[in-house]
Structure formats: C-alpha cells, structure tokens
Amino acid sequence: MSTTRLLQRQILPIDRDTDVFPLYVDLEDAKLDTDRDAVGGDKAAKDLNNAAIRQSTSTGRKLHPDQIRSRTALRLEPSQLLSFGTYFNAFPASYWRRHTVVDQVELTVRVSGAGAMVTVYKSMARGHSQRVDAATVEGDGGEFSFTLPLKPFVDGGWYWYDVVAGDHGATVEGAEWTAQVPADRAEHGTVDVCITTMLPDMSAQLLTQLGQAEELQPYLDTVFVMDQGKDKVTDSSYFPAARDGLGDKLRVLVQGNLGGSGGYARGQLESVRKGTATYAMMMDDDVVCEPEGIIRAVTFGDLAKRPTIVGGHMFNLYSRSELHSFGEIVQPWRFWWQTRLDGYSQWDFGARNLRSSRWLHKRADVDFNGWFMCLIPRVVLEEVGLSLPIFIKWDDSEFGLRAKAAGYPTVSFPGAAVWHVPWTDKNDGLDWQSYFHHRNRIIAALLHSPYERGGRMVRESLNHQVKHVASLQYSTAELRHLAMEDVLRGPHALHGELATKLADINAFRKQWSDAQLHADRDDLPPVRRKKPPKKGKSDIEIPGRKATAIAAALAPLRQLRPVRELSGEYPEAELTAMDAKWWNLVKYDSAVVSMNDGSSVALYKRDPAHYRDLMKRTIEIHRRYHREWPELARQYREALGDITSPEAWEKTFAPWIDQPDGDDR
C-alpha cells in the first residue's frame, strides 16, 4: 500500500523585500555560463570565468510587489513570462533521487487566465536544461498534472516550471510536488527546535516568526530556548508576541553561558529525554527563517532511506539574495572546513539565476552542515551522542563527521534556509575566538583525521603561528599556544572548564596591545614615520609570487632587529582590516589596525624579546605534537563516547537543570 505525501509547494516571500524576490521567482532568460568543465576544474580556469559567471541579470527584482497576491499565488501581466526555476521553488530532484525512497513525483499547477501556458523543464548535472512537457489553459483556468520520474538524476539536476500569461494576464494560484510513498511513511514527523541565545530581541523576533507560521504548527513539538545571556529573552518587548504565538510549545531554559555547544547540547538532551519528537533542529538566534524550509527538512527526513541529518543553507542577512555557501566539507589532509572544490561561496542569485548557473545543478555532497539550521534525527543523537563540550566552533562539523562514521549522512538541502550575518563580517580568526578555533580544530582532527599524525594539521599550525607572531598579533599567537597546551591536558578537562574558559581567555589576552580595542581612532597617537616609503611605493601593494616568498623568508629575521625609536611613541602606519595582511604588517614596528566589523581599532607593536620567547615555545610545542599525536588521538577517541554522553552533560548542567519554576520558564 502507498499514500500521497506533499513534498514541496510553491511559495512566495512573506514580506515585500525585493532583495529576496530572485530566490522565489525569475523573469530572466536562462543564459548559460561558460563551460562547466572549466568552471569546476582547476582553480586558474575557475578564476578566469568568475566575471562571466557573475554578470548581472537582475532576475526576480523586476517583479512588482503588487503581483504577489498571497503566500502561494502570483499575478502575471499580459504576455509576461515567469520562471519558478529558483532556489525556493525549483524541485531539487537529485537530492530526492539519491537519499530518499521517492522514485517519481507529481507536479500539479493551478493557473487562471485564458491562453496561459505552463512548461516543465529539467536539468542534468552538467546544467543543460530540457523541455519535458507543457499545457495551455483553455477557458478561464485549469489544473495541470505532470508525472515526473527521478531516474535520470543520479549525479544532479532539478525540475521546474515556467508560466507565460495570455493576452489578458494570468494568475498562478499554486503548485505542489507530491509523491506516492509507503504507507508507513504517511505521517509526518515532529521537531524540537533548539535555539541558543544571548540576543534577547533577535531571539524573540525569531520565535514570533515561528509562532506566526500557521502551516508550521503541526510539525512543531517543542521550541527550546537556551537563554545564556545577562539580558533575558523573556524581558524583551518582542517576547509577548512570541509567547502568544507558540503557547505551550515554548520552553525557555535559563543557564550559564556554556557557548553554542553547551546551549545546543542542552536542547539535544531535553529532546532525547522527552522522547516525543522525531527530530531536533539546531537553529541560531540571530537569523531570519523561511518557515517552509523547516517543513521541507522534516519531510525530506521522513522519506530518507536511512536516518539522515538535513541541513539548511545560509543566506547573507545584509544582502539577502546572496548564498553564503552551497555545501561544505572538511578537507582531510589540511583538516579544515571549506566550500566544496567545485562550488562557490557568496553566490548572488540576484546577479545570476539558478537555471543559468551550471555548477548549482551538480548534487553537492557534504560532510556536515552548520548548526545555524540543522535537523538531526533523535535516533542519531541517541546513538552517537550529543555535542562535544567545546563552547563554540567545530561542534557542528565534528558532529557531522561523527555521524558520518556511524553511517548517518548529512544533506545540505536546497529549499531550506535562513538569513544570517555572514562569516566574512567577523574577526573570529584573530580575537578571543581564535583560541576555540585552534583548540577545537585540533580536537576534531585527533578524533577524525584519517592520517597517522593529522596530515598537514601540525605543519599548518606551525606556519600560521609564525605568521601571527611576525604580524605583531601577539595576543592571537598566545591564545593559539594556550589552546595547544590545553589539548595536551586531555579530553576529560573539557566539561569542567566549559563555563569558565571564556572569562579566562578574555582576561589573558588583554595583556597585549593588539587585543585592546579602541572605538575612537583618536584615542591612539597619529601616524609618524622617520622615512617615507621607498621610491614612493604604496604600503599596501599586493606582492607577486616571488616577492611573497622573499617576504616570508625575511619576515621572521626582521623581527629580531631593534625597534625603531620613533615607533614606540607613534604608529608607523594605519591599515584597514582588508589591508592588514601579513605581508603588510611585517614591514612595521607599530601600526593602527581596524577590525573586520568596522567598530574599533587596535595598536600593533613589535617586541623582539616577546617574539623570541614565542618562537621558542612555538617550535617546542609543535615538535611535541608531532611526537605525541598518535597517543593523543587514541586518548581522545577512547573518551569520545563518555564526554558526549547524556550522563556527562547532565553533570555539567546540574546547577541549572530541573530547577523550580522561574529558572525553567
């Protein structure tokens, strides 16, 4: 026996922000980009084609907001052509083909307006599109159904439909993608949404958005908010609307600041202990959500061949048609997260539509999905454990690798997404977060690197440490060194220091001037230098390959020279964040450097004695890692089950868990 399941429906923007229109509708021709093999091949060929690929087409921004009649209905002007081959409305056939029990879908489109035509297309992994079928409205309106097999989509490809209005216009009333599925897959699962917050207003606005989405309510079991900030979400002026919308489904759990990993682990623990939801979804607090994406993720998880982690994509909150990344991997030799090699980050659908971007038609297989939006089956949490106790950074990627090793794949699923502040606007590689970046990357590599000594991990750590020291970024270098020392203490120290480590490292790093931020540039002395630039050359010229190699060789030696006398009183240069590269910083004895977020500056000052001490310790600890890596990896792998178990996390949460009413609201 089988039953019909709705897989996906046509949706339109909730608000009238024209920036997001290209994600829902497209009025442009599908002009193909350059040769797909060149684009996805070697880096040089890929770079040469970037300009052609990203040329402006303006896509759905040409749509007038008044044409949107409802969440599902859209009015077309006479003779207007409109495509639903877009991020939120095209059907990602290859993902359903590869990961689910669905082998055929039924597309039903409802159109009013005499003479309107509906045309169905498909694409293959190389991006070439083909016309599949078409129908024309006779009379005032019609409902058209198209049976579409998934067999040809092994490596990639999408289905979508275009609509052309007749002489008097047309309205696309709605469209649904459905499938016949086994009777035991008839009922949809439910989800516990887990939100960790220190931003009460943004969190309350997100909760309000979830509560106001009527179609989402049958899928929600509980919405857990792990409130870890000084200012509470329940005190936000936006909270009453959130509480009214979600009602008894909302639970606010107050606890100390245990970082993202501690917050998400609390949500995971509560979801597992409660045992009533099929899934737990990790979601950041500072996002704008497309609620339909949650429904699609649950539906995909329900119909997956095996328990599968279903992740959403991230769009740029400040440039809302820009996709930040379309699938991420952990490169095993370097052991670093990155966009897959045949993909792009920061891809703007407002400049290049889905249909014409060939690289988007190949299925993107991933190792993990960020926890800004990530659906995890409860059975996976029960088998592989909860988050690592590492505060922030690498908790989501490590979990994805751990689940993958246990036979549970991750799918970054098109059509499920949030808008979030992009990583490029943050300074987390240099500030207090650099400690967690480095420590947790090493821990993840110890747990999951397939190479005996972590591949290039130790060597790359040494290279980066030398770069930071030579660039006068002493606080960053000291934090990275502290991170390496802490890893050597072993895995069982992680839970105990979860609540205190942030305060410790913030106090520790303030010893150095590069960590002392000034909101007003005039708090620091003006720039003065004894000699002008040689031959009038710009201080921020980008060196060629030969010059870069020479600079890299000479920079460590230059740090041993005495500091120029004037530089102790006046900075020698003022650099913007984008110009503060190592090949520029190594030239100076002091410099004022702005931060990536544009809110402050810091004074970098060269100290030869500190440089010698740091370099000595850097070499010693990296030699130790090279010697001890195999034994250290054994210790961490043997302890993994213990430190990620619900029992271990219950002890960490003991001061806050099962508290009387008032602490658990």
Contacts for 274 with CB less than 8 Å, ≥ 6 apart: 192, 221, 222
Burial class (CB in 10 A: 0-12, 13-18, 19+), 71: middle
Match 């010893």 to its residue by tokens: 511
Q: Give the separation between CA 143 and CA 128, rounded to whole angstroms.
A: 28
Instruction: Please name which of 263, 278, 271, 274 lies closest in space to residue 225, comparing C-alpha atoms.
Output: 263
The answer to whether 596 and 427 have CB atoms below 8 angstroms apart is yes
Q: Give the separation between CA 330 and CA 542, rounded to whole angstroms.
A: 29
Contacts for 24 with CB less than 8 Å, ≥ 6 apart: 11, 12, 13, 60, 86, 87, 88, 89
The answer to whether 161 and 76 have CB atoms below 8 angstroms apart is no
Q: Give the separation between CA 503 and CA 324, rounded to whole angstroms.
A: 31
Is 542 in a helix, a strand, or coil? coil
Is 396 annotated in the active site?
A: yes
Q: Give the separation between CA 514 and CA 427, rounded to whole angstroms.
A: 13
The answer to whether 164 and 81 have CB atoms below 8 angstroms apart is yes
Alpha helices per DSSP H over 116-215: 200-212
Q: Give the separation between CA 246 and CA 250, rounded to whole angstroms.
A: 6
Q: Which one is catalytic: 227, 396, 431, 514?
A: 396
Q: Give the separation between CA 326 and CA 313, rounded to whole angstroms.
A: 7
The answer to whether 640 and 386 have CB atoms below 8 angstroms apart is no
Match 């539509």 to its residue by tokens: 353
The beta strands (E) that lie in 454-496 are given as: none
Instruction: Please name which of 370, 456, 380 lies closest in space to residue 417, comparing C-alpha atoms.
Output: 370
The answer to whether 502 and 257 have CB atoms below 8 angstroms apart is yes
Instruction: Please name which of 504, 395, 384, 385 lies closest in space to residue 439, comparing C-alpha atoms.
Output: 395
Q: Give the separation between CA 310 and CA 417, rounded to whole angstroms.
A: 11
Q: Within 13 A of 214's CA, how many CA atoms are on the CB side?
A: 1
Instruction: Please name which of 362, 346, 355 lies closest in space to residue 32, comparing C-alpha atoms.
Output: 355
Q: Give the separation between CA 6 and CA 295, rounded to whole angstroms.
A: 10
Q: Give the separation between CA 373 and CA 312, rounded to whole angstroms.
A: 5
First CA to last CA across the chain, in angstroms? 44
Alpha helices per DSSP H over 310-411: 378-384, 395-405
The answer to whether 136 and 37 have CB atoms below 8 angstroms apart is no
Residues designated as active site = 396
